[in-house]
Structure 1
Amino acid sequence: MSNPIEKKEKPGNQILIECGKGQIKINGLKVSFPIHLNTLQDLFGEPSKQEYDLLWQVVWDELGIYVDYGSWDNILNMNFLLSSNHELRHFPTRFFSGQITIDKKNVTHDDFAEFDLKKHKVRKLTYKGYTEPYSISIGKNFDYKEEIPKDKYLIKDLTEEQIEFSDFGFKLSIIQELMYNKELLKPKFDLYEFVEWYDKREIDIDKEGHRPIPEVTQYFKDLPIPKKYTSDITEIYQDGGNDIYLQLLRYGEGWEDYWDIENTEDAKQFPNLKKAVLCYAKENVIDEFNKMGIECEWL
């Protein structure tokens, strides 16, 4: 899968990382790990460089921040450079000049090994042969296991009117907007959590993630969407890196046609839908949307 780097406005060098047992905030925005590269770009602006050496390394030189990852939608930690006490490559040219707080106390330059924050850990990293740490790492705590409610991914009947869809591809575009962009539709589906929760058979993402996993596809086909949300949709934007497609096909390449919108009939239910940018759609759909007064174009 490609690693898109879009130009974002730089946030300036004053970065405040606030850590606590309940959450992590970056300049006031709540985040959690794993985190998406797009989220980091929104927070830190366009990276200075991105290189590949066994893992992808993305660096924000002016901020002293860097990450490495295997999958750009599943970044497990981020790092803040404090000193040059290392012999490693792919590091920022400047040190981190912001603040990292634990329960409102600035610990950026304190002497500590790690803080256990339940879901997350804050650690100081020391290179072999050196005693002074070179970086602070904030990320997922692999020792923490959150119990998944037994009914979390059970499909429940709605007690209110729901939207009836005739086109699965269009429904997925709506789910992207309501579940991941606007966070109105819950629970927010997470593939790895769903696989852990699912007990009817063992699902192996590494082996099955190159094609749609039937149980995951069926979940979204069965998922009811309240009709009250129709007025909340003003646009749809398809991209191979959308959360919804990464849940449906973990190792997709962007050329797939499993979720092509085939007709525009469902759009009539969304009175405020005025714009659509598409990459998964049949050729006729663009013209049909435009004739309906919905400004539509290919990605």
Structure 2
Amino acid sequence: MTVFRDFNFKLLVIEKLMYWDETLTPVFSLKKHMRERGIEDLDAYVEENELEYTILDEARTYFEELDIPAELLATVEELTFDGGHQVFMECAPVWDGEDDLFDVRCLDDLDLLPTLKLFTGKRELEHMLPGALEILAARGIATR
């Protein structure tokens, strides 16, 4: 099993493979997952339990336990950080993007992506992780 050190970095990889490329399946839907547990109104559930600014345990567990085969990781040539990612909405369905909930904390997981060539969202990344652009440049990974 591939182990990621930074959960939020893993989410970027999941966004690319599951929601963009559709090669990591099945596609996770928090609404469907919660309906199977008897929760029909996800937004009401989040508000009633004061979970607006957190990653729901059900999503965190699913994505933490999700194994991404090395063969799929080797297909990732580009990663993007964007506050509107589907994976973020699956984790925190009423998240407003106004905090650091999904900030990347380290780039140790770059070793898992041997063909990564481009990281889009360089301003956001540099804000989250000062010095990150130099790390990417040293690995030959372009940014925009």
Q: TM-score, normalised by structure 2?
A: 0.82
CA contact (8 A) 1:262 1:285 kept: no
2:119 equivalent among 264, 267, 276? 276
Matched position secondary structure for 1:283: coil
Kindly provide the amino acid, as one letter, of the partner of residue 59 in structure 2: V
Pair 1:294 & 2:134 matched: no
Matches within 5 A, 1:172-187: 172-187=11-26
Matches within 5 A, 1:1-299: 162-198=1-37, 202=39, 205-207=42-44, 208=46, 210-211=52-53, 212-278=55-121, 279=124, 281-297=128-144
Gaps of 5+ in 2: none
Change (3 A) 1:266 1:203: farther
Change (3 A) 1:286 1:197: farther
Matched position secondary structure for 1:174: helix
Q: What is the CA–CA distance in structure 1 between the aligned matches of 2:130 and 2:96, rounded to whole Å?
A: 20
Indicate the structure whose relative CO is greater, using CA pairs within 8 Å and at least 6 residues apart: 2
Deviation at 1:218, TM superposition (A): 1.8
Deviation at 1:203, TM superposition (A): 7.9
Matched position secondary structure for 2:74: helix
Deviation at 1:175, TM superposition (A): 0.2
Kindly provide the amino acid, as one letter, of the partner of residue 52 in structure 2: H
Aligned length, in residue pairs: 134
Change (3 A) 1:204 1:235: same
Change (3 A) 1:203 1:262: farther
**Bigger Rg, structure 1 or 2:** 1
Matched position secondary structure for 2:24: coil
Matched position secondary structure for 1:183: coil
Deviation at 1:163, TM superposition (A): 2.1
Deviation at 1:204, TM superposition (A): 5.3
Gaps of 5+ in 1: 1-161
Q: What is the CA–CA distance in structure 1 between the aligned matches of 2:134 and 2:105, rounded to whole Å?
A: 12
C-alpha RMSD of matched pairs (Å): 2.0
Name the structure with the higher helix share: 2
Q: TM-score, normalised by structure 1?
A: 0.42
